[in-house]
Each structure stands twice: as C-alpha cells, then as structure tokens.
Structure 1
Amino acid sequence: MIGRKKETTELNKLYDKNSAEFVAIYGRRRVGKTYLVDETFSGRITFRHAGLAPEDQKDNIGQLKNQLEHFYKSLLLHGMEECEKPKNWFDAFFLLEKFLQKIDAGTKQLIFIDELPWLDTPRSNFIQAFEGFWNTWACHRKNLMLVVCGSANSWILDKLINAHGGLYNRVTHEMKLSPFTLSECEDFYKANNVKISRYDIVQSYMVFGGIPFYLGYVNGEYSLPQNIDNICFAKNAPLRDEYDRLFASAFENPDYIKAIVNLLGTKNAGYTRAEILEKLDISDGETFTKSLKALLASDFIVKYYPFGLSKRSVHYKLVDSFCIFYHHFMKNLKTTNEKFWQQNNTSQSLSSWRGFSFENVCFNHVEQCKKALGISGVVTQTSAWSKRPDDEEGTQIDLLIIRDDNVTNMCELKFYSGEYEVDKPYYKTLLTRESLLQKMVSPKVVIRSTLITTFELKKNEYSSVFSNVILMDDLFEK
C-alpha cells in the first residue's frame, strides 16, 4: 500500500487493544478510505457491509427496504442462518448482535460498515438503532472493533464525531484521510509501472490532485497529454461526469454545495463568508455553516486569513485540483474534442493555467517548503496578500509564510520548463513588493524573497534578489 503508514499503524494499534473501539474514517470521495481498511485488515474482517448509493435509487420510496434487504444478505454471506428478514434497523442490528455472539471465539471481531451515511435514509430511524447497537451491546465487548467510513463528511461529523445525543463522545478514534502528496503520487506511479518525470507528476497533480482513484487511470503506455485526454475528454472518459457524481454521492444538498464550489472556482484568492452569501443570494445559517465545514473536511476548500486583514476577513479558497481543472476546461467545453489536451498542450492558455495551478500545488505542500527552508520546527502561518493601487503601487503576493522567528518568506511561484531568469523589470517589481510588505510588518521582521520553481534559478546580476530558492524536487520530500 502506498503511503498511509501512520494511518495503518494507528489502526493496528487499536485492533490490538483489549477494549471496544469505535473508529470513524472520513475524507473526500475517491481518496482511498475503503482501500485503507481492506489492506490494513486483510483476512481479519469478521463482518463487512456497504450502504447502497443514494444516486442509484430513483426516489425515497423503497430506500429503507432496499438497504435492509442488502444488510440481511450481507449477514447471510458471512454465515448467518436464514431467518425472518428485518423490518427495521432495530431488527437488523439485533440480528448482527446474535450472529456475532454465536461465532464469538474470544478473538478480535472486526465489523466494517462502509458508506455508513447512506444507510440513514429518510424516516428510517437508523441513528437511533445504530446508537442502541453501540451503547447497549457493542461498547461492552472488549474484543470488538467497529470501523465505519463515509464520503458524506458532514454526516460523519454531525451524527458521529460531533454528536450531541446518544452517540456523544462515543467515537474512540477519528481519522481523516487526505489526498496523496507529490511524493506519494510518485510512489503510486512507480508501483503501477508508470514511468513519468517529476515535471509531469506535478502537472498530473494539477489535474487529478492526490486522489489515488484518479491516478489509477493513468496508463504507462501513453504520454501525460494522451492520458488526460483519455481520462477527461474522450467520449467515454471515466472522469467526464465525475464532478457531478462527487457531490451527488457525498452531500444531501449537492446543488447547494456545487453552487458554493462553482463560485469559489471563479477566483483564485477565494471569497469571504459574506461575499459568498451575497453573490449566491443565500441566507446565512446552519445549512451554510455545515456546508462550509463539510467542504473543509473533504479537502475541497481551505480557509485562510489574508495578510493584513482581521480574522473576520477569513477567506475560503478552492484547492481541490480536479474541481479547479473541471472549471477551467471541462465545464464549458461545448464540443467533444477527444484530443483537446494534446492539441492545446503548448498553447498560451494552458501555459497560463499551469502557472495558476502551480500556486495550488505549492499551497498544498507548505510543509515541504518549510523543510526546504530548514524551518520545519518553526510555528508558521500561511497566507496571501493583495494591495489595491491607491497613492502607492498595487501588488499581489500569492503565498506568504509568516514565521514566529521574525522572518516572513515572500514566495514567488513560477512553473517553468527550464531555468528561471530574473530580468530587470521583474527585479524592480520584487523590490517594490518587499518595500510595500515591509511597511505592513514590525520593524523587527525581515522579509525574504523566496522563489519556488521547477528547475534552477539562472545566475545573473538580478538573481540575488531571492534569498531562498525552493525547487520542484524539494516539493517531493516525504
């Protein structure tokens, strides 16, 4: 298994404990939650079940019946003797209790319920039955471990991890599974015999992010542009309809969620809460708050405080690579061009997009940047800053690493096909930015211009403007 060493270690420690354990694993759809459990506990799962996807069921009618029928058949597959089918979730969990008691030999029993939120269909009383199963029976069995997963992160957070009712503080361990880093993407490609340069791995990250399911479609027989066409633009491309599926399967109100994501996709710096509400003409309240929390928990968005502004000006920024890519190239593609990427690979529009997307790659690898700077142990804040022209020149800085050791790294992000060369106009621009930023910080703080680029910085009379240089290879550090 690629990556996930920390998660695997934690799960195995919990498995070895002599106590009842209730583990909730959540994360973005396609990030590898099920695979993690399958690989970690291969041959050790006593009972497993997966909920039926809501988008596969036309309406609410019969959903409860279908879920119960499916759960009953899972019990039969695991060796339970045939009996009267459960009429509700209380009956279903009672059957599970009886079955586990019957086969209990004193060794660890692992129950894995995948896509748990999908079982909670309208008016099913699933939560009450599930609560009864854990509080009345399961939590008292020292040899039992319950692992649940779900892509509907708002449900996992609200109904389990942050529950206020009968399941309050019942989850013994929560685990958020995040997308792969560049290093893990590289390991994944190697394991799948895909020979690809780091330059192209970074570009693939711009399209697919660190989502293992998407990376698995990359075929080593083709170039990266060919793969992007095959995966995203071909007539039957596997990810052609993925954007809608992402939200339909993970959120109760997918259109509402997509409206927020669609808006955030229009501005790299993101928007404040008030701006989102105003532009979408929606009311502030619990639904909106929960939606933002769910998007944050799913790694679709991040929140940050723009430098120089108050904490009330927190911005929400779209950082999911696939969603960003979709908004730039797939959303408004009016004609089916199965060779779109290959035919436009060297175009100015794609070059501009790579520059924009490299900012997102760096934003997602700040820890690697800190390691390259030798400040892994320093407390930092990550931000961006823009200044509108007034009586002074305006400017924009896409990444600031604000350190507790009285240094701020003003990062310039350049995705370049060769050595990057600083010319005289750009040199003057950087000096101006440093000067403007210095006025915003304490006199004891030093501003260091820092270049983050793909290859080398070409030495010339202007290159000394950069105090630090972080290269693409640094972003691949583990």
Structure 2
Amino acid sequence: MFLGRRSEQELLERKYEGGNFEFAVIYGRRRVGKTALIEKFCEGKKAVFFTARRTNQRTNLKILDSTVRKVLGEEEQEKRNGENTSPEDPDADRIFGRIAEAAGSERIVLVIDEFPNLAETDPGISDSLQVFIDHYFRKTKLFLILCGSSMSFMEEQILGAKSPLYGRCTIRLKIRPMDYYESALFFPERSPSEKAEIYGAVGGIPMYLTMFSDMTSSVPHLISENFLQTGSVLSYEPENLLMQEMKDPKKYTAVIEAVAEGRARISEISSKTGISPVDVTRAIDDLIALDYVVKVTPINEPGTRKTRYFLKDNLFRFYYSNIFGKEDLLKGRTEEETERNISSILPHYTGKIFEDMAAGYIRRFLGYGDIGKWWGTSKNSRTSEEIDIVARRKTLSGKTEGLFAECKFRNEPMTIDVLFRLEDRAADVRGFDSKEFALFSKSGFSDELKDQAEREGVVLVELKDMYMNRTE
C-alpha cells in the first residue's frame, strides 16, 4: 500500500492531465521512496518504466529497447508477423525517435530510473535527450521522468547550468523524508508517544517505517528486532549507505559519531576524531549534501561564527547515538531485559526529536517556512541562553513576524515559568516587527499556564494534538 506524498502525487497528476510535454526531474537520497512514488503515478497509464543498471551501455540500451518495444506493442506485432526487428546494438537516438513518434498521438510516460547509471556508461545520453527535447519531444504528449539517488549528479549534471539539459525541466521534485505527521500513516493505531519514538528511530523513510507496522509488537521489541538482531537490515544500514556514497567511509563514520556525541563545532569534531579541521569541513560539506547533517546558525545571524552541526537524518542520529558500539550494553540476558534497556534510552532521545517534530508542526499547520534556533548571551543576566525554535515569515507589507517556541517531552504538565522564561529570552532576539509564542508539551499544561496563554494568545500544542486529523 502506498502512503503519503499527497502533494507530490497531486502535482504530477495535474501536469499529466494538462496533456502537454513535461520533463520531470525527481531525485533524493536512497530509500526515500522515489521509485514507489513514480510507480504509483504510472498506475493505469501507458508507461515505459526503465531502471538503469550498473552495467555497460549496450546492456542498458538493450533493456530499454526491449521495454519500449513491449509497451508500444512492437513486440506483439512482430510475433504476429513472424518477424524480429530487435537490433543487436540498440541506439539511444533510434529508441527516442520511436517514443517521439508514438507520443505524437497519445499520452506516454517515459521513466528512466537511476539515470546516473545510464549516464555513466553512455556520457552522450544527456546530449541526445537535449536534442530530442528541443526538436521532437516538445511537440508531443510525452511525460518524461528522470530519477536518481545521486543528488550531486542530479543537481549538477541535469539541473546545473553546465548541463545540456539545463533549463528544460518543467517539474523539479526533490523527495525528502516524510515529516512526523506523514510518517504516522504507517501505524495509525499506535499511541502518540509510540509514533514519536518510531519517527525518532528511523525518521520519515518509508522502507524503514514499514518495519514498524506490526501493531502486535512493542516499539522496544521492534527496535531490538530491527537494530540488534544479527543480519537485520537496520543493524548495518547507516554504514552500508556510507559505503555506497563515500570513498573513505571510515572518515565519515568518525565524523558522524562525533556529531552524534554532541560535538557541534568543527574544532570539537577535529579534536574528537583526530582528523584535521580542513578534512572535517570537507566531510561535513559532503554529509550536508546527502542530507545526513545540517548546518545551523542562530536565526537572524547568518554570518556569525556561532555555527553548529547536527545530525539531520533520524536513522543516523538514533543509530550513532544509541546503537553503534553499544550493542553489547543494550543486549540483555533475556529478550525482556533487552527491551527494558531500550525503553530506558527512548524518553531522553525522543525529547530531542520532539523539537524537530514541533518545527514540522509549525511548518505544516502554522504557516511558517523559515524555521531555526537561537542561542546567545542574555543582555540582562549575561548568561548563555537558548530558544528551541524560532520561526519567521514576511508579510505582504514587508514586516517580519516571529514565532518563538519551547518544547518539553516530559511526563508532567508544562508550568507557567516555561512561558515567562521564553518571553524573557525572546526579548534578546532582534530583527522582528512582531513576536508570538508557542509551547509544545508531551503531557499537557497546568491550569495556570492555560489561563495565561489564553490571555496572551499563546499557542499551546500537546503531543496528541500534533497527530489530529485536520484540513491541510
């Protein structure tokens, strides 16, 4: 069953119904669900769906040619006539020419999945596509989709200014992991706390979320089964992903492990790993490009030296914070003891994830797109202060509105002092014409805080409210 990605599906369907030539570039990190989205889109449509292999040019083109012949009915026609016109050495231009001819009179979808594999064996394929887009495809009803997992290749070799295909894309979709809200579609009957724990462990990657869809098992049991059992996919998945993407995975593993331990600055990561600051910076840049790490500066201070780095991908964050190198500590003498050990680490870890979930709620439901954090020195107390979330947006009149939020993942209601501290800290943040406040709590709010929030117009959001169905 295909879940989520509603906005992406609606965009593709709307463009398809338009009947004009379209060129979609769909890309994103491995496992994020690109192929599943395209397969869902192709249901009920006349589609040539070709996945490029890591093989030679001739083999890839033969598979593409065979797929085209089957979809266009050429293969069946040859069988009826007792012919075989399949070429020994297929040519990309001839294949594209047949597709252009067929798409002149009917809507056809052409998907080339894992396009970087084809381009690696056939460097001229992008030039061929450029010629056919400019001179043939534009006059047809073809819906062309190029898809790939190598984000640097897709952004530079297809979307980049030096690419032969530059400026020809009509749909650009970078598929990102689902947010906390969409991720919960995979296990709708679980409690809000369980949904948060699963999202914290594996993030919004559909392949991983399906591993937690068994409603008869507890979250700690499923974590044990998927992370600690010998041969389980998630027990080696982060390291496997790094080996696929990086030439020196050991260096990147060391950097990620340091970031997972809370080393947030280049100097701290270098000191922990023994890797030079220059090489750490290069590694961090590569990991940012893969969406595994995020660079953060205090909002409204883009040029500051206060830069910090955090793990952005939840699977990497959970694995390197709680699993990597700690497997023997988590495994108990019995299954029950192992699950108790896992249960003991979840509240503190999920509390950190709760801030990301709150940011997702603000983006999805409160209408803020620019969301970050703030830290600095209080003018009044001269002490270091932090604000969990600071969001901003521009009004039509050009004014800057700000939303300041604090998050508490605790088993008791939030009290009024949290609001007062947040308001004091927000007074030190410059660059806003107006400020509003929001509080996020796992376990609700004290009556005193509710009364104060109502008087001031403060937004109060409980964990269970974050999963309520609403019109989006």
- TM bracket (short chain): 0.7 to 0.9
- Alpha-carbon deviation of 1:402? 4.5
CA distance in 1, matches of 2:185, 2:158: 34
Give 1:468 deviation, angstroms: 3.9
- CA shift for structure 1 position 445: 5.5
Q: Distance in 2 between matches of 1:114 and 1:248?
A: 21
Identify the residue that residue 458 of structure 1 maps to in structure 2. 446
Corresponding residue of 1:228: 223
Q: Does 1:359 align with 2:355?
A: yes
SS in 1 for 2:184: helix
Contact 1:408 1:446 in 2 (8 A): yes
Correspondence 1:393 to 2:393: no
| 2:319 counterpart letter in structure 1 | Y
Which of 287, 305, 329 aligns to 2:297? It is 305
Q: Which of these residues, 382, 402, 406, is aligned with residue 372 of structure 2?
A: 382
Decide whether aligned partners of structure 1 residues 433 and 221 sit closer, same or farther in structure 2, where only a CA change above 3 A counts: closer
Q: Is 2:202–2:208's contact at 8 Å kept on the other side of the alignment?
A: yes
Q: Who is 1:85 aligned against?
A: 88
Counterparts in 2 of 1:257 and 1:389: CA distance versus 1, 3 Å: farther
> 1:473 is aligned with what amino acid?
K
The 3 A distance-change label for structure 1 pair 49 and 277 is farther
The TM-score with structure 2 as length reference comes to 0.78
Distance apart, 1:286 and its partner CA = 12
Q: How does 1:398-477 map to 2 (within 5 A)?
A: 398-402=388-392, 408-417=402-411, 419-422=412-415, 427=417, 431=420, 434-441=423-430, 448=437, 450-459=438-447, 464=452, 467-476=458-467
CA distance in 1, matches of 2:145, 2:248: 26
CA contact (8 A) 1:401 1:409 kept: yes
Aligned match of 1:344: 341
Shift of 1:26: 1.2
| Residues 1:331 and 2:332 are matched in the alignment | no
Deviations 1:177-225 (A, max 9, x none): 22223332233324xxxx3112211111111212111111221221222
Specify the SS of the correspondent of 1:120. helix
Decide which of 189, 196, 199 is 2:190's aligned counterpart.
196
CA distance in 1, matches of 2:404, 2:171: 38
- Taking the aligned partners of 1:407 and 1:100, their CA distance within structure 2 comes to 51
What secondary structure does 2:233 align onto? coil
Q: Secondary structure at the match of 1:170?
A: coil
Paired residues in the alignment total: 441
Q: What displacement does 1:95 show? A: 4.3
C-alpha displacement of 1:458? 2.5
Aligned 8 A contact 2:25 2:145 in 1: yes
Q: Residue type of the partner of 2:210?
A: G
What does the per-residue CA deviation read over 1:291-333, in whole Å, with 9 as the maximum and x for residues that have no partner? 36632xxx43444431464435454432211111111122213
Question: What are the residue-to-residue correspondences of 1:308-319 with 2, within 5 Å?
Answer: 309-313=301-305, 315-319=308-312
Q: Is the 8 A contact 1:27 1:178 kept in 2?
A: yes
- Give structure 2 stretches of 5+ with no counterpart: 76-83
In the other structure, the counterpart of 1:59 is none
Q: Which amino acid aligns with 2:119?
A: D
CA distance, structure 2, for counterparts of residue 353 and residue 285 of structure 1: 26
Q: Distance in 2 between matches of 1:231 and 1:209?
A: 14
- Alignment match of 1:244 (pick from 226, 236, 239): 239
Is contact 1:455-1:472 (8 Å) kept? yes
Q: Which residue of 1 aligns with 2:80?
A: none
CA distance in 2, matches of 1:470, 1:115: 41
The aligned counterpart of 1:178 is 176
Once residues 13 and 447 of structure 1 are traced to their aligned partners in structure 2, the CA distance between those partners, rounded to angstroms, is 37
Asked if the contact 1:385/1:400 (under 8 Å) is kept, the reply is: no
Distance 1:177 1:308, change over 3 A: closer
Change (3 A) 1:226 1:463: farther
SS at structure 2 position matched to 1:174: strand
| Preserved contact between residue 434 and residue 447 of structure 1 (Cα < 8 Å) | no
Please give the TM-score of this superposition, normalised by the length of structure 1: 0.77
Query: Judging changes above 3 Å, is the alpha-carbon distance between structure 1 residues 238 and 96 closer, same or farther for their aligned structure 2 residues?
Result: same
Q: What corresponds to 2:28 in structure 1?
A: 27
SS at match of 2:215: coil
User: Alignment partner for residue 155 of structure 2, among 154, 157, 162?
Assistant: 157
Shift of 1:252: 7.1
Distance in 1 of aligned mates of 2:149 and 2:247: 11
Q: Which of 126, 130, 134 is the aligned partner of 2:126?
A: 130
Answer yes or no: is 1:217 the counterpart of 2:208: no
Taking the aligned partners of 1:114 and 1:187, their CA distance within structure 2 comes to: 26
Alpha carbons of structure 1 residues 415 and 433: separation in structure 2 relative to 1, 3 Å: closer
Q: What letter corresponds to residue 191 of structure 2 in structure 1?
A: S
Equivalent residues of 1:22, 1:145 under 8 A apart:
yes
- Larger relative helix fraction: 2
Aligned letter for 1:397?
A: I
Q: Alignment identity in percent? A: 20
- Give the unaligned 5+ runs of structure 1: 54-61
Deviates more, 1:32-41 or 1:335-344: 335-344
Cα distance in 2 between the residues matched to 1:180 and 1:158 = 24
